[in-house]
Structure formats: C-alpha cells, structure tokens
Amino acid sequence: MNKTFAALIALLFFGSSLVMITSSARAQVKQRTQQQKRPAEAATQSKPIARWDLQQSGVEDDLIDVCFVNADIGWAVGKSNTVLRTRDGGRTWTRAMERDEHGYQFTQVIFSSPTEGWIRAAGTVLHTGDGGETWTPATHLKKELDMGFGDGSVVGSVRFQIHVPNTGTGVYRTDDGGASWVRLVSLPRNDYQRVFFVDEQHGWVIANHGDQSIGFTTDGGKTWDFVTEQVSYRDPQIKFATPAIGWAFGQDGSTLLASVDGGHTWKRQYTGIPGYHPLEGMVFVNEREGFICAEDKVIHTINGGNSWQSVGSFPPSTLSALSFPDNSHGWVVGRKGYISHYHVVTGGPEGPR
C-alpha cells in the first residue's frame, strides 16, 4: 500500500468517526433539551378538574338557601335568624344578624347585585340597598294577613312576590324596596308555590298539583296563560335562562320538565336521580349548562338537560340549596351549617366535601 492511499484511508476513517461523534453529541443535546421541556409541557397539558372544598360556616343552625353574586360575594340564610355573608369566596363567613333561637327561619335569599338584596321568612321580607349593612322590612301585602309572603323573584331592583293567603293567591310587584306593592294578578288557586321572572316582562308561576299548574306572562303580569303539567308536589321550582328556554321540577326526583317556547309546551327529561330522592335546587348559568342538587348529590348538564352527570356526592340528607354564579364556581348549603365550594382547578386531588 502506497503512502497516498494509506493517508486517504486514514482520512476517511477519521471523518466517519467525527460524524458519529457529532451525531451522538447532537442526540445527547436533543435528549437533554427534551427532558428539560417535559415538565413545562406536562403542566401545559394538565386538564382542569372540578373539586369541592368544605368551608367553615361557623354556625350549627341549618342553612336553607344560598346566593352568590360572583365568585367572591355571597350570602346564606337559615334557621334561628341566621344570615351569613362572605366577601372572599367563602373562606370566611360572618353573621350579618344576631342569632335568635326563636327568631325567623329565613328560607330565601336573592341578591341581584353586590348591594341590592332580599331575604324572606314566612312572616317577613327584608330589603337591603347597601350590601346588607342595613335591612328594611317590606310593607305587608295586606295588613290583615301577617303570613302572606311566599316565594319571590328579583330583576334588578324590582321584586315580584307571591302572596299566599288562605283563599286565593296573587302576584305582586314592588319598585321601591317593598315600601309599596302593585297587584298584578289573582291566580286560579292558592297552591302556587314559586314565581320566577327572567326580565321585567317574562315571568312564570308554578303550583304543586292540579290543573293549570304552570302559568306564564309576556307582558309583565298584565295577562297570564296556564297549562297543565305533572309537577313536583313537594317543592315545584321553575327557572328560565331566556324568555323561551326553561325548566321545572317534575313529579319526582328523576323527572325534569323542559320548555323551549316560553312555557307553552313541556317535555320530560331524566336526571338519573332515583325518583324517591327529592330535588332541592336548580341553577342554569345559560341555556345549555345547569346544575341541580338533591339531598346528597349535585348533577350537571352541558346540553340543556338532555343528559346529566354527577359532579359531587355528599353525606345523606345534607343539602338544601345551591348557587352557581358561573360554571366554574358554585356553593351548596345544608344541615347544621354545612357549606361546600365547587371550583375548577388545574390538576390536584379532589378536595373534602
């Protein structure tokens, strides 16, 4: 072998080795780079999950209703004159009124804004225009009837109110915090339990049995039409997301009624909850997405109630009401001061209930 040929062979061998070393080094650098990126990529790919966190209400009295204006400001009411408020999403709760063992049992709280709110018991309705700093009793609907305040619905500063005397039922309206009332209609019977207005023109009432069980108005209560449906005999609730699309509790826990024409016609939907478990509360954040609670469960729909999925299980016979200001934050309340908070987080285990 001559020297020129030998030098060529050596050069080729050295070049191949250099290519192999360079390729190997590049592969090692690429591997290290990928390893460095994986944690960030994994964090980016983490899926949001919903969890429930038990909150300390600081009370032992049963809570009956709850209302959150947004993810921070909320109220809960119940037995023994209990009125609670929070301004930090439920991390801390304080009494807005002094406890009274023989005081009112508040069964409804509605806030339409951080300042405008109402609470109701059988014998009184209280209004606040300053976020609960002061409360003013509403004028009685009829002076001779102390126990006439039924369910109410609020649109802005306007409250629509059912009156529940011994004979006959009426729907009233106030625009001045309950100082004065205007009677809108005399209803056909005295068993209408709930009223709901989605705006000042479109409203509904629902009874707990019999003919003409659901009534609706499109002119602010001047005229009403009625239809007959098999509704809940225990607690017939009715809610609308728009003037056309709404829901009502059916005759048992497994049945929901849905309307897409303002209440003229209704079709049955099925919750998946056993019929003997009564439904306690219902919230729809829009025309597709809603939440319902039974005594020990919260279910969720994203298709207008055509199907439901459980999003929380709780101790038996605990829950009484729920409030969802949006689809990422919600609260349930119940027996002996029970409060739990639903919120959407990225990763992490499910919290206590």
144 phi, psi to nearest 5 deg: -85, -5
Question: Could you tell me the two tokens for 213?
Answer: 């069980």
Q: What is the pLDDT of residue 28?
A: 53
Across residues 126-148, what is the average pLDDT? 83
Per-residue pLDDT at 125 exceeds 60? yes
| CA within 13 Å, CB half, 246 | 26
pLDDT, tens digit, for every residue of 235-271? 999 999 999 999 999 999 999 999 999 999 999 999 9
Letter for the amino acid at 175?
D
pLDDT, tens digit, for every residue of 200-218? 999 999 998 889 999 999 9
Q: Judge residue 94's burial from the number of C-beta atoms within 10 Å of its C-beta, 0-12 exposed, 13-18 middle, 19 or more buried.
A: exposed
**Angle at CA 329, nearest 5°, toward 87 and 84?**
35
Across residues 169-198, what is the average pLDDT? 92
| Percent over 90 (pLDDT), the chain | 73
Q: What is the pLDDT of residue 247?
A: 98
Q: What is the pLDDT of residue 214?
A: 97
With a CB cutoff of 8 Å and minimum separation 6, the contacts of 104 are: 81, 121, 123, 124
DSSP per residue, 272-339: SS-TTS-EEEEEESSSS-EEEEESSEEEEESSTTSS-EEEEE-STT-EEEEEEEETTEEEEEEGGGEE
Length of the chain: 353
Per-residue pLDDT at 47 exceeds 90? no
Per-residue pLDDT at 23 exceeds 70? no
- Provide the mean pLDDT of the chain: 87
pLDDT, tens digit, for every residue of 312-340? 999 999 999 999 999 999 999 999 999 99
Is residue 31 within a helix (H) or strand (E), and if so which, with residue range? helix 3-45
Across residues 140-160, what is the average pLDDT? 81
Q: What is the pLDDT of residue 166?
A: 57
Q: What is the pLDDT of residue 14?
A: 45
Q: What is the pLDDT of residue 347?
A: 60
Under DSSP, the state recorded for 154 is E
Per-residue pLDDT at 15 exceeds 60? no
Of 2-6, 10-14, 102-106, 296-300, give the lowest mean pLDDT range.
10-14
Greater confidence, 165 or 162?
Answer: 162
Across residues 292-308, what is the average pLDDT? 97
pLDDT, tens digit, for every residue of 250-260? 999 999 999 99
pLDDT, tens digit, for every residue of 91-112? 999 999 999 999 999 999 999 9
Across residues 114-126, what is the average pLDDT? 94
Letter for the amino acid at 243?
P
Distances (CA, A) of 190 to 126, 154, 184, 283: 23, 22, 15, 26
Across residues 2-6, what is the average pLDDT? 49
- pLDDT band (50, 70, 90) for residue 169: confident
Under DSSP, the state recorded for 118 is E
Q: What is the pLDDT of residue 43?
A: 45
Across residues 116-128, what is the average pLDDT? 95
CA–CA dist 266, 240 (Å, integer): 13
- pLDDT band (50, 70, 90) for residue 10: very low
Per-residue pLDDT at 16 exceeds 80? no
| Contact (Cβ atoms closer than 8 angstroms) between residue 40 and residue 51 | no
- pLDDT band (50, 70, 90) for residue 50: confident
